Structure 1
Amino acid sequence: MMTISPSAVAPSGITHLLWPRMEELVRWIAEAVRADGTPQTLVAVLRGGAVPAVCLSHQLGLRDVRTVEVTHTTNDSTNAAKTPQPMTVNPASLGNLTGRDVLIVDDVAGTGHTLTTTTRLVAGAGASRVRSAVCVMNENNWTGRLPAKAAVTYIGTIAHGWVIFPWESNDEHEH
């Protein structure tokens, strides 16, 4: 069952999220997760999911935060091209997740392929329950088999275009 924040949908184009809005989204996601049962482990999708995962770990009182690098863009520029399939680096970094309730955390879901790949990796590492949380769902790019709102468990907000997060430098997106 997907849960989405009641917050407003971001307009089309490029959305610049500021820290207060990110804190609000993470706080809302933490409340929704807690209502469904606090997971035992958070898995951050590197790089973008690292910051929200650490923030969520503090909100939820969890110390078991793991990471895996799964990327689907060729670089960090605005509207960067996608690779044919998500690229995974060092999936062994997940460790043994046998019997664990796991929450996968990413900053944004675009096509849905990164989350699908990460979910397979986490399930393959033995997780007994796998949920996912994203701060932003970019509905313009969604190509997943399921509708976006059915594929992600917790969505902070919805955007219709590229999202720039507060931890990203603006000049990085102007190339």
Structure 2
Amino acid sequence: MNVAADLGRPAATLGWPELAATVHDLARAACADGLPDVVVGVLRGGMIPAVMVAHALAVRTVRGVEVVHTLGDGVDARKSARPQARNLQSLGDLAGLDVLIVDDIAGSGDTAVRVLDLVRGVGAARTRMAVCVVNAANWRRDDLPEQLLSYVGVTVEGWVIFPWEMSVP
């Protein structure tokens, strides 16, 4: 990762090559634990790595769920008090399935908990969660990221800018 400046604050920039390597590592780790029946991406940012993981695992069933915790896209954007879930019908029928949830980043851990609860609540037999990046500076849970998240790509201290968030000149 390269260090970039955005709005006067340092941030880690994750480029496409680093993302591809991270996704490959996440897919390999998930595969070692058994292929999932379905991959669920957390919209918006988690959908791109979710599709990449699904391709790497040759899993054709990909779904998305919108769970939003940040109120904007800028560096250190404010957060809502609790992650907000929308359009839960997009999960479809997960009863009895092995579900791999993928997100781009885990900050506080609140979104991960919310999504895991939602997926379990619709009957998934097994849930696992993979995140490309953990922002340890924002983690505020009593449990460690490794206790909540099944697979973690990299851990950083601070805001991360992903390739799809970079402006087009």
TM-score by length of 1: 0.89
Residues 1:114 and 2:111 are matched in the alignment: yes
Q: Percent identity among equivalent residues? A: 46
SS in 1 for 2:20: helix
Q: CA deviation at 1:145?
A: 3.7
Match of 1:36 among 27, 33, 36: 33
User: Which of the numbers 58, 63, 74 marks the counterpart of 1:77?
Assistant: 74
2 CA distance for matches of 1:151 and 1:15? 23
- The match for 1:53 is 50
Cross-structure match for 2:100: 103
Task: Work out which of the residue numbers 137, 140, 153 in structure 2 matches 1:140.
Answer: 137
User: Aligned partners of 1:104, 1:41: CA distance in 2, in Å?
Assistant: 9
Alpha-carbon separation, structure 2, partners of 1:84 and 1:59: 35
Q: Following superposition, which runs of at least 4 residues in structure 1 exceed 3 angstroms of deviation?
A: none
Number of aligned residue pairs: 161
- Partners of 2:167 and 2:113 in 1: how far apart? 29
Unaligned stretches of 5+ in structure 2? Answer: 4-9
Q: Tell me the distance in 1 between the aligned counterparts of 2:105 and 2:153.
A: 9
Q: CA deviation at 1:169?
A: 2.4
Cα distance, 1:150 vs structure 2: 1.1
Q: Who is 1:25 aligned against? A: 22
Aligned with 1:133: secondary structure? strand
Corresponding residue for 1:123?
Answer: 120
Q: Report the 3-state secondary structure (helix = DSSP H, G, I; strand = E; otherwise coil) of the residue aligned with 1:121.
A: helix
CA–CA separation in structure 1 for the residues paired with 2:166 and 2:26: 25
SS of the residue 2:140 aligns to: coil
**Partner residue, 2:87:** 90
| Gaps in structure 1 of 5+ consecutive residues | 1-7
Secondary structure of 1:88 counterpart: strand
- Aligned-pair Cα RMSD in Å: 1.4
Give the AA of the match of 1:39: P
- Name the stretch that deviates more: 72-81 or 142-151: 142-151
Deviation (angstroms), 1:92: 1.5
3-state DSSP of counterpart to 1:83: strand
The one-letter amino acid of 1:82's match is K
* Equivalence for 2:6: none
> What's the CA shift string for 1:140-172, capped at 9, x where partnerless?
10122411121110000001000000011248x
Measured against aligned partners, the alpha-carbon deviations of 1:72-96 in whole angstroms (never above 9, x if no partner) come to: 0011011001100001111121011
Whose RCO is larger (CA < 8 A, sep 6+)?
A: 1
1:141-156 to 2 correspondence within 5 Å?
Answer: 141-156=138-153
Would you tell me which structure has more strand in proportion to its own residues?
2
Task: Name the TM-score, length of structure 2 as normaliser.
Answer: 0.92
